[in-house]
Structure formats: structure tokens, C-alpha cells
Chain A
Amino acid sequence: MPEILDRARAQVLVNGVGLDEAGVLEVLQLSDEHVPALLQLAHEVRMAWCGPEVEVEGIVSLKTGGCPEDCHFCSQSGLFTSPVRAVWLDIPALVEAAKQTAATGATEFCIVAAVRGPDERLMTQMREGVAAIKAAVDIQVAASLGMLTQEQVDELVEMGVHRYNHNLETCQSYFPNVVTTHSWEERWGTLKMVRDSGMEVCCGGILGLGESIEQRAEFAAQLAELRPDEVPLNFLNPRPGTPLGDQPVVAGKDALRAIAAFRLAMPKTILRYAGGREITLGDLGTRDGLLGGINAVIVGNYLTTLGRPATEDLALLAELKMPVKALSATL
């Protein structure tokens, strides 16, 4: 047994203290033969510090495409030759999407907009949309609207948005290779405001952007420093027309190593499967990840791509005897 796994067992499993950057790097460098033991440990950590429940979430794009930013992985940037056109979802369709999400047993519904930050039109749409959802559907509403001002943070709190997603996407040292129209520090600033407001912080990123293993470890450590309530873990699904359109997908074993490593860095957080798992891990890998540190899933479709049918994920959770977290447990 590699020494790092013994150390992680004592430090993370027993004491609930996450691995630091150097420890995460050692985990990411474990050879394939040690991956099963690593996943087993990460699963034990998740069960010990989070329990068997899985948090289920649905997401929807309120405003798609036409974004002024240049995030190199994103098909919604208006700066690339992506086929994604700008389109808005109306309030009745938003409420219907929330109803469909709740019908799967999900407790979270995240409203997402492809923007640098919200303008008055988007905030008005949010105000009306959140109120309409709360009047019609029993579900927690989260939001992801880019960078915020303090006024906008306060307004979202007032609307009853309970969690705010703003991904750092990658580590600080690699970020300028991925985004040039704003900085990692600007994102961090929004996250600090969100945390101080009392909203839950949801912050993760995308693996497979071309970052090194060392930078993956750096990213895990930086996320851990933020102490997010939730970390959505995406794997790059290269999109046509984007600068990363020809980037290779993350190998399945590397993805599983990363899932376990992020769990060992953040033993108590909600670690969510987000986009890209279908092409990176497939069905078998999805199961392995759920038994290797993941304790939350996005079900159904994503923002510009499609996911597995929610019924398939829910059947898998039932088979693994992992109960879906009830709404009462999130309030």
C-alpha cells in the first residue's frame, strides 16, 4: 500500500482533515494498480463525512450563447465560431423545467446564464423566474450568472436563491491559458462576496483543459481553501468551434484518480458529477466515481449538451443503495 494512502486514511478518514496540495499530487501520481484502493478510501471518506445520500440537481440555461467572454472551452462565447445561437428561455418554460426537475426527485434547480455578469434585464428575469418557481414547485433554487456586484449578491439573497455557482474552472496558474477577458482573481472576488452573504458557495471547474497534473493538485488545494459547500466536477467535452475543440478527453482512470483526489482534499464537501462524465467515464466509470467519492449528480441534460436520462442515474443510485437526499434534509 502506498504511504500516501495510509497517511490519507489517518488524516482524512479518521480526522476529516483534507490533503494539502502535495498530498493531492501524490494521489494523482498513483499508478493504475492502486486506483481501486484509492477509490475505496475516497468512498469511505465520503460515507464517513457526508453519508450515503446523493444530492440530485437539474440545471437549465436561462440565457444561452452570445457571451462576451472568451472561456476557451465554452461553446456559448460570442467570440468563437460555435454553432450555438443566443436564445432566452421564457418564464413559463423555466417553471416547467423546474417542475420536470423536481419530478425526478431532485432537490436543486440551478438557473444558469451565459454572461460576464448579470445586467438589469437578467436580474428582472431572475426576480420573476425565481418567484414563479417558488410559487409552483417545491425545490431549492440556485443560480449561476457570472461575476456579481455586492448589490446583485444582496438581491439574489433577497430573492431566496440559496446557493450560487461560480466556477474557478482551473487553478490560478493555468487560468490565463483558458480565459483572457477576465481574471481568476475577479472570480475569487465574487465567491468571497457570495460566501459573506450567507448563500451557499458552489465552485468547481473543468478537468482536461490542458492543465498539468501539478496544476490539478494546485486547483484542488485552491478550492479547498475556499471551503465551498459544493464542488461540481466537469470533464472537458471538446466543443466544435472553440479553441479547445480538438483537446483530447480525459482518460477514464485519470478522471477517477481526480475524483478521489478531490474528495481527499475536501472530505466534507458535496462533490458533484457535472458535464462530460458520459464521454470521459461512460456507464461503468460513472458507477466507479459514485463509489469513489462522488455524492451528487446533475441529472438530465446540461446547458448545451445532453446527459443520460435521469431515470438511468436514479436506477443506478437505487442499485448502489444510495438514497436521494430529501428536500427536508437540505432546508
Chain B
Amino acid sequence: MAVTALWCDRCGNAATEGDHSPCAKARELEPPRFCPSCRRRMKVQIVPTGWTATCVEHGTRHA
């Protein structure tokens, strides 16, 4: 089941408020920084071929 993002994972503001298309564009060359479920800042580790972003509450995302 897909989970609706409550928060923008780049700027940390409410996903349903304001224009986040610049964030989406920037995210093509950035990992996420905020948990889309709770807005916590995530621990992000980047390696040459990928990244992981971990929220203490909602787990790890990776690419």
C-alpha cells in the first residue's frame, strides 16, 4: 500500500502546501533529507553509487 507523503523530503515543509516542484527537480541530484512521514531530519550516507537515508522512527530508504 502506498503511503502518502505528509512532508517534503527535501525542504521539510508540508507536502500539500506550496510549490514543491523545485524540490522535486533538485532531488534528482540530492538524496532526501527529511522523513516524508514525520519530518524528522534523516541520517543520510552517500557513497559513490548510492545513498541511504534513515529515520529513527520510520526506517531506512535507499537508492
Contact = CB atoms under 8 A, between A and B. Distances in A.
A305 B49 contact: no
Interface string B29-60: 11101100000011111111111000000000
A305 B48 contact: no
Contacts of B31: 306
A228 B12 CA distance: 41
Contact of A60 (B10, B28, B43, B47): B47
B51 A301 contact: yes
A302 B49 contact: no
A310 B49 contact: yes
Interface stretch (A82-90, A182-190, A199-207): A82-90
B45 A310 contact: no
A59 B49 CA distance: 10
A32 to B, nearest CB: 27
A11 interface: no
Given A83-B33, A279-B29, A305-B30, A100 B49 contact: yes
Contact of B50 (A59, A64, A301, A304): A301
B11 interface: yes
Interface string A263-280: 000000000000000110
Interface string B3-43: 00000001110000000000000001111011000000111
A303 B44 contact: no
Contact of B33 (A84, A101, A279): A84
Contacts of A96: 47
Contacts of B10: 240
B29 A100 contact: no
A301 B45 contact: no
Nearest to A57: B48
B27 to A, nearest CB: 9
A137 to B, nearest CB: 12
Given A83-B12, A85-B41, A301 B33 contact: no
Interface string A69-101: 000000000000001110101000100110011
A73 to B, nearest CB: 15
A93 B45 CA distance: 10
A93 B46 CA distance: 10
A279 B28 CA distance: 11
A300 interface: yes
A64 B41 contact: no
Contact of A85 (B11, B28, B44): B44
A289 interface: no
Contact of B48 (A59, A240, A279): A59
5 contacts: A85-B43, A89-B45, A100-B47, A104-B48, A306-B51
A-B pairs, 9 with minimum CB distance:
A300-B48, A83-B33, A58-B48, A97-B47, A100-B49, A87-B43, A306-B29, A301-B46, A101-B48
Interface of B: 10-12, 28-31, 33-34, 41-51
